[in-house]
């Protein structure tokens, strides 16, 4: 079976980040999960965020492809990385820093989280 990222087949879930993560603003975010594997380790879909800035700490590996917008991702102690529509990138497990949405950003994502595995590693 092939899973298409068709917004008409999946309901989006809107949410706001917890206050302890917020640095600037209170961006409304929406996620459309199109696929989760049976183990719960792999998830893919589409994410949308309004402007704001927050702290991130990755326990997962994430591949992103920006469909629209402009964001700046900064690793703690590192240089800011600007990403715009058309950019593809990976954020590795262990990344700690900030994500700032300058212009409403929508991305396709694929996440692998080893710690979500069911049963022994």
pLDDT at 119: 46
Question: Please, which pLDDT band fits residue 76 given cuts at 50, 70 and 90?
Answer: very high
Q: Which residues of 94-104 are buried (b: 16+ CB within 10 A; e: fewer)?
A: ebebbbbbeee
Q: What pLDDT digit, counting tens, does each position of 14-41 carry?
A: 999 999 999 999 999 999 999 999 999 9
What pLDDT is stored for residue 115 in this prediction?
A: 75
pTM of the full structure: 0.91
Strands (DSSP E) contained in the chain are 13-16, 22-24, 28-36, 42-49, 52-57, 61-75, 80-84, 88-91, 96-112
Q: Identify the pLDDT of residue 117.
A: 54
Tokens of 119: 């049963």
Question: 53-114 has which fold?
Answer: Jelly Rolls (2.60.120)
Domain extent listing, the chain: 53-114
d(C-alpha 51, C-alpha 117), whole Å: 33
pLDDT of 120 strictly over 70: no
């Amino acid at each position: 079976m092939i899973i298409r990222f068709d917004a008409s087949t999946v309901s989006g879930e809107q949410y706001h980040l917890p206050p302890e993560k917020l640095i600037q603003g209170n961006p409304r975010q929406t996620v459309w999960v199109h696929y989760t594997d049976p183990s719960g380790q792999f998830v893919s879909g589409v994410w949308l965020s309004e402007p704001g800035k927050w702290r991130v700490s990755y326990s997962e590996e994430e591949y992103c492809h920006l469909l629209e917008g402009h964001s700046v991702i900064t690793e703690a102690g590192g240089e800011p990385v600007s990403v715009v529509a058309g950019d593809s990138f990976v954020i590795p497990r262990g990344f700690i820093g900030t994500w700032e949405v300058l212009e409403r950003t929508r991305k396709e994502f694929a996440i692998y989280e080893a710690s979500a595995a069911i049963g022994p590693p």
